[in-house]
């Protein structure tokens, strides 16, 4: 008699057990979304942004909620901010939204732009200081947008902004990873 119970999926596949740890083999939900071709990413970077200069992403959510994780990197002190209900007279330049499963032909429903002409920030929903120092010997810093995802409303516009506050030119980078359900 076996000491293991077989668990079957809806389509009759057996859920595997790791026999070293006697544990069900599973993967994290994000990993699963990548396998399903439903996880996307984009980024923008500039290697020389003047003090008080910024990089901005303008996000227009499609018909499904967008589950978003934002990462901002700066070569010195900076801020990372997110706004909801943002407006722009020009959306800017469309960014390529890369499906993290390179075998999938799925495309994202929402759109993301760089360099929008912002006419209204909207309501601030997140702001943090990125610690990195100032002047020519600043060390740089990173913020992962509160570490967990934000769920953006269907049909809504959002603005993500990173600002250089180091007192001199510094590199800035924004990364956006998301899935839609």
- For the segment 112-160, what is each residue's pLDDT rounded down to a tens digit? 999 999 999 999 999 999 887 676 666 666 676 556 799 999 999 999 9
Closest CA to 150 of 91, 72, 84, 74: 84
What does the pLDDT average to over 162-173? 94
Query: Strand, helix or coil at 16?
Result: coil
Q: What percent of the chain has pLDDT over 90?
A: 65
Instruction: State the pLDDT confidence band at 35, using cuts at 50, 70 and 90.
Output: confident
Per-residue pLDDT, 60: 98
Tokens of 35: 């396998």
- Domain 27-180 top-level CATH class: mainly beta
Helices within the chain (DSSP H only): 29-35
Q: pTM of the entire structure? A: 0.85
């Amino acid at each position: 008699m076996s000491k293991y119970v077989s668990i079957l999926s809806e389509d009759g596949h057996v859920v595997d057990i790791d026999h070293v740890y006697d544990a069900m083999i599973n993967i994290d939900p994000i990993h699963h979304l990548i396998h399903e071709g439903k996880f996307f990413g984009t980024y923008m970077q500039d290697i020389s942004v003047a003090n008080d200069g910024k990089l901005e992403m303008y996000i227009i959510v499609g018909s499904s909620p967008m589950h978003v994780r934002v990462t901002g990197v700066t070569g010195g002190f900076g801020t990372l901010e997110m706004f909801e209900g943002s407006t722009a007279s020009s959306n800017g330049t469309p960014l390529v939204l890369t499906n993290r499963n390179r075998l999938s032909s799925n495309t994202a429903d929402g759109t993301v732009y760089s360099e929008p002409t912002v006419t209204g920030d909207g309501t601030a929903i997140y702001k943090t200081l990125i610690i990195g120092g100032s002047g020519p010997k600043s060390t740089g810093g990173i913020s992962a947008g509160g570490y967990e995802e934000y769920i953006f409303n269907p049909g809504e516009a959002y603005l993500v902004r990173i600002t250089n506050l180091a007192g001199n030119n510094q590199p800035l980078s924004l990364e956006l990873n998301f899935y839609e359900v």
